[in-house]
C-alpha cells in the first residue's frame, strides 16, 4: 500500500512570484509514478505534471517543475511566474502497477494574489 501526505492545507502566492507545494509519499514498490493534479473550482481533475520514479531528472512542463528526492520520498511542485489562473486545489498522487490505482494526498489550496 502507498500513502501520500500533503501537510500544508493552504498556500498563497503573489502573482508573478514562485511558489513550492510540498508532498511526501511512501511506497514499498520500486516502480511507481508520481503526479500533480490541479482541481479548479469546476472540480475537473487536470494533470499538471508527472514523474517516473526511475528517472533521475526532474520533470518540467513550462512554468511547472518538480523537485523529486527519491531517497527522501519527497515530490514538491514549483510553480514559476504564478498566474491568477493557477489558483486551485493541487493534489499530489502516486501510482504503482501493483495495485493499479492512484493514491491521492489531501490536497492544498493555492490562492494567487493579484
Partner 1 sequence: EPEVTQTPSHQVTQMGQEVILRCVPISNHLYFYWYRQILGQKVEFLVSFYNNEISEKSEIFDDQFSVERPDGSNFTLKIRSTKLEDSAMYFCASSEDVGLAAAYEQYFGPGTRLTVT
Give the three cell numbers for residue 20.
513550492
Would you say 53 or 112 has its CB closer to partner 1? 53
Quickly count: other Cβ atoms within 10 Å of residue 107's Cβ: 19
CA 31 – CA 52 distance, rounded (Å): 8
Would you say 11 or 45 has its CB closer to partner 1? 45
Q: Does 106 bind partner 1 (CB under 8 A)?
A: yes
Query: Judged by CB under 8 A, which of 62, 99, 111, 113 binds partner 1?
Result: 99
Residue 86, φ and ψ in degrees, nearest 5:
-80, -10
Which residues sit at the interface with partner 1, rule CB under 8 A? Answer: 31, 33, 37, 42-47, 50, 91, 93, 95, 97, 99-107
Amino acid at each position: 500500500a502507498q500513502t501520500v501526505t500533503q501537510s500544508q492545507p493552504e498556500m498563497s502566492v503573489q502573482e508573478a512570484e514562485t511558489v513550492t507545494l510540498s508532498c511526501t509519499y511512501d511506497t514499498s514498490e520500486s516502480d511507481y509514478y508520481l503526479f500533480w493534479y490541479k482541481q479548479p473550482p469546476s472540480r475537473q481533475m487536470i494533470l499538471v505534471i508527472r514523474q517516473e520514479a526511475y528517472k533521475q531528472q526532474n520533470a518540467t512542463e513550462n512554468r511547472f517543475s518538480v523537485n523529486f528526492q527519491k531517497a527522501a520520498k519527497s515530490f514538491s511542485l514549483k510553480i514559476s511566474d504564478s498566474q491568477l489562473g493557477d489558483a486551485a486545489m493541487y493534489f499530489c498522487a502516486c501510482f504503482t502497477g501493483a495495485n493499479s490505482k492512484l493514491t491521492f494526498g489531501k490536497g492544498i489550496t493555492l490562492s494567487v494574489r493579484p
